[in-house]
């Protein structure tokens, strides 16, 4: 077997795992890997302006492709800068691989320059964090990292590479090598049978699609089951897009923030919920006693320790969502289809009548009007990314999603600044697709430097900014959450705070500011053409009312509505 540089073997492993683009920043302690990538020449590399940006780009690429996104950094602060991205990926079950350089093994105990125990630091926010000290282990550890990232509940991994180990040679033959298998977890037959019994016995059942439906590529099976048994479907925030929101069986989102009025209402009238790959997060459930009520719950999840973590279900099933739905469908077909009954009609009635108003034409712009324009302008094939804040909540309440993996949100960790790098990752995964980031004025500036990546590498996408010149979500919490204050949340200064259009121009990009709702549509049309013309990021900055609030509450049965209802 021939001897080759160990990092050449690593590059060959990356390629065979389906990696054609990586995001990173070179440094002295990771240069052997960069040398191997340069010599190979078949993996595209985008140089980021901050290593956190690299992780979020890998995250967006992974959410879009379903494969493992890769971010690269050198030793010391490069790894610590990646921690937020690792945490974000872990929280949302996104498989990414972070590769860090490290000081020589012999120097690790001597406080060498930029030597930090990144494995220990990363351990709580990864599925696996490992340092390679034997060169012969290198390709095998990379194979195992991909297997771990993809298996069970997907998630991030980190591999730390001491510089001296990177410089060695090993015996390796890539022609007889391949990825490690990732088995799909099948459910217990008896539990599938029990789940079907419970579904058919219920008068007002709901299917609840969590992020696990999208991660498990189970949207087609979800639709088939819903139509065959005529059961309405809801989605969590992470499951948004699992079912086309215009489908007659779609019954909205339940929650105390990102929810629809008709979603909460239909959930409260249900008597059984089959939750598929959902975590029962606190923004979804709110007051747990109200959420549980007298209804029964079936909880299906690929990760055994998720079942019972928030509350004990009436039936727990450990399984891959796709495999479970296939098994349930097979048993359901043996018993026969069901006709749509009074429950389906009731959910459709709630969907028609319990809405929130969006047709505001006042100045300053009210946020729901922005999402009315978004829904009408963009088609079902558009990819959206959004992060955290009032704009994300408005998006969850008003924006429609039609296809899996097309509506992406960092749901649990909620790091500000996620949108720009995530949009770059999405666009690199789908170069021919239209990509749009919905962003707030504060989040925009957290990783604004990654606009340079979009400009340098011709990565066009549109940013739609809702600018209220506030830390809006925290202002609302201070103002209406019992604190009776607006302390250190106002970021307005001069005429309108930071000139975000000029910021775009400083990076070689384009932007426009909108103050009247009648200008939104024409601005979106301009942005689409401008992104095509320049092949660079484009901003549509919409000045919204400064103290607009989203509907919210502590219980799904007691939401506070701030805007007049239709």
Task: Inform me whether the pLDDT recorded for 551 exceeds 90.
Answer: no
> Looking at 451-531, which runs of residues are DSSP E strands?
462-467, 510-514
Cα separation, 426 vs 437, whole angstroms: 10
Q: Burial level of 158, CB count in 10 A (0-12/13-18/19+)? A: buried
Domain presence at residue 159: yes
Nearest CA-CA partner of 29 in 7, 52, 4: 7
63 and 152 assigned to the same domain: yes
- What's the mean pLDDT when you consider all of the chain? 93
Domain presence at residue 561: no
Q: Burial level of 180, CB count in 10 A (0-12/13-18/19+)? A: middle
Strands 157-162 and 21-24, how do they pair?
unpaired
Structure tokens at 565: 């209802």
Task: Inform me whether the pLDDT recorded for 220 exceeds 90.
Answer: yes
Q: What is the pLDDT of residue 152?
A: 93
Cα separation, 182 vs 435, whole angstroms: 31
Domain presence at residue 260: yes
210 and 86 assigned to the same domain: no
Q: What is the pLDDT of residue 248?
A: 96
139 and 219 assigned to the same domain: no
> Looking at 237-347, which runs of residues are DSSP E strands?
272-276, 296-301, 315-318
33 and 64 assigned to the same domain: yes
Nearest CA-CA partner of 204 in 307, 285, 293: 293
pLDDT tens across 140-188, in order?
999 999 999 999 999 999 999 999 999 999 999 888 999 999 999 999 9
- State the pLDDT confidence band at 254, using cuts at 50, 70 and 90: very high
464 and 349 assigned to the same domain: no
Query: Could you give the dihedral angle defined by the CA atoms of residues 45, 49, 55 and 61, in that order, rounded to the nearest 10 degrees?
Result: -50
Q: What is the pLDDT of residue 37?
A: 96
Half-sphere exposure of 30 (CA within 13 A, CB side): 23
CB 6 within 8 A of CB 135: yes
Domain presence at residue 259: yes
167 and 206 assigned to the same domain: no
How big is the CA angle at 202 (ends 197 and 204), to the nearest 5 degrees?
A: 145
221 and 264 assigned to the same domain: yes
Nearest CA-CA partner of 516 in 356, 376, 370: 370
Choice among 67-71, 88-92, 112-116 with the minimum mean pLDDT: 112-116
pLDDT tens across 392-432, in order?
999 999 999 999 999 999 888 878 899 999 999 999 999 99
- State the pLDDT confidence band at 2, using cuts at 50, 70 and 90: confident
Any bridge partners for residue 544, and if so which? Answer: 365
Domain presence at residue 560: no
373 and 412 assigned to the same domain: yes
Task: Inform me whether the pLDDT recorded for 215 exceeds 80.
Answer: yes
Any bridge partners for residue 453, and if so which? Answer: none
> Where a domain ends, among 306, 324, 353?
353
Residues belonging to the chain:
566
386 and 526 assigned to the same domain: yes
Task: Inform me whether the pLDDT recorded for 1 exceeds 70.
Answer: no
Total number of domains in the chain: 3
Rounded to the nearest 5°, which phi and psi values hold at 552?
Answer: -160, 170
> Where a domain ends, among 353, 387, 417?
353
Task: Inform me whether the pLDDT recorded for 113 exceeds 70.
Answer: no
| H helical segments located in 296-341 | 321-335
Q: Which residue bears the tokens 């090598």?
A: 177
pLDDT tens across 18-54, in order?
999 999 999 999 999 999 999 999 999 999 999 999 9
Q: What is the pLDDT of residue 103?
A: 85
CB 195 within 8 A of CB 331: no
Supply the range of the domain harboring residue 82.
3-176
346 and 458 assigned to the same domain: no
CATH code of residue 433: 3.40.50.970
Q: Which residue has the higher pLDDT, 546 or 219?
A: 219
State the average pLDDT over residues 220-240: 96
342 and 474 assigned to the same domain: no
CB 466 within 8 A of CB 367: yes
Domain presence at residue 555: no
CATH code of residue 259: 3.40.50.1220
193 and 249 assigned to the same domain: yes
State the average pLDDT over residues 541-546: 93
Domain presence at residue 362: no
Domain presence at residue 242: yes
Residue 524 neighbours by CB distance under 10 Å: 23
> Where a domain ends, among 301, 320, 353?
353
Query: Could you give the dihedral angle defined by the CA atoms of residues 562, 259, 444 and 516, in that order, rounded to the nearest 10 degrees?
Result: -50
Any bridge partners for residue 365, and if so which? Answer: 544
């Amino acid at each position: 077997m021939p001897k080759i540089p160990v990092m050449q073997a690593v590059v060959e492993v990356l390629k065979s795992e389906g990696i054609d683009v990586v995001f990173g920043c070179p440094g002295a302690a990771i240069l052997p890997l960069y040398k191997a990538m340069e010599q190979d020449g078949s993996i595209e590399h985008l140089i980021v302006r901050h290593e956190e940006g690299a992780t979020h780009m890998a995250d967006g690429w992974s959410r879009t492709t379903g494969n493992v996104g890769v971010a690269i950094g050198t030793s010391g602060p490069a790894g610590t800068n990646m921690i937020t991205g690792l945490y974000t990926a872990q929280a949302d079950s996104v498989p990414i691989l972070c590769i860090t350089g490290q000081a020589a093994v012999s120097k690790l105990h001597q406080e060498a320059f930029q030597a930090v125990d990144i494995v220990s630091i990363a351990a709580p926010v990864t599925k696996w964090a490992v340092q390679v000290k034997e060169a012969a282990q290198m390709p095998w550890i990379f194979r195992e990292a991909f297997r771990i990232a993809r298996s069970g509940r997907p998630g991030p991994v980190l591999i730390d590479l001491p510089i001296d180990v990177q410089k060695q040679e090993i015996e390796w033959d890539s022609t007889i090598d391949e990825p490690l298998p990732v088995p799909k977890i099948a459910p217990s037959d008896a539990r599938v049978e029990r789940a079907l019994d419970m579904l058919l016995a219920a008068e007002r059942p709901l299917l609840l699609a969590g992020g696990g439906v999208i991660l498990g590529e189970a949207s087609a099976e979800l639709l088939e089951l819903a139509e065959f048994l005529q059961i309405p479907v809801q989605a969590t925030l992470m499951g948004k897009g699992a079912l086309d929101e215009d489908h007659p069986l779609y019954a909205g989102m339940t929650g105390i923030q990102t929810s629809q009025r008709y979603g909460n209402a239909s959930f409260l009238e249900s008597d059984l919920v089959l939750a598929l790959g959902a975590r029962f997060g606190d923004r979804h459930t709110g007051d747990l006693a109200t959420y549980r009520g007298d209804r029964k719950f079936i909880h299906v999840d690929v990760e055994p320790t998720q079942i019972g973590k928030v509350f004990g279900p009436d039936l727990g099933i450990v399984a891959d969502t796709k495999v479970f739905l296939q098994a349930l469908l097979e048993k359901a077909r043996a018993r026969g289809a069901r006709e749509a009954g009074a429950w389906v009609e009731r959910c459709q009635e709630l969907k028609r009548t319990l809405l929130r108003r969006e047709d505001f034409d006042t100045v300053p712009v009210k946020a729901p009007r922005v999402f009315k324009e978004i829904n009408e302008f963009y088609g079902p094939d558009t990819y959206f990314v959004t992060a955290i804040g009032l704009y994300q909540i408005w998006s969850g309440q008003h924006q429609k999603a039609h296809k899996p993996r097309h509506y992406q949100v960092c749901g649990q960790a909620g790091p500000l600044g996620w949108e720009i790098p995530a949009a770059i990752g999405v666009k690199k995964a789908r170069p021919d697709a239209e990509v749009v980031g919905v962003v707030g004025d504060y989040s925009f500036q957290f990783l604004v430097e990654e606009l340079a990546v979009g400009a340098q590498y011709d990565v066009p996408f549109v940013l739609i900014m809702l600018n209220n010149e506030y830390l809006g979500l925290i202002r609302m919490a201070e103002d209406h959450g019992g604190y009776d204050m607006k302390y250190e949340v106002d970021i307005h200064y001069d005429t309108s705070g930071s000139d975000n259009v000029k910021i775009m121009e400083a990076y070689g990009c384009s932007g426009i500011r909108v103050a009247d709702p009648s200008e939104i549509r024409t601005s979106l049309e301009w942005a689409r053409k401008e992104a095509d013309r320049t092949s660079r990021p484009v901003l549509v900055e919409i000045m919204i009312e400064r103290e607009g609030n989203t509907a919210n509450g502590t219980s799904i049965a007691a939401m506070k509505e701030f805007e007049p209802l239709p």
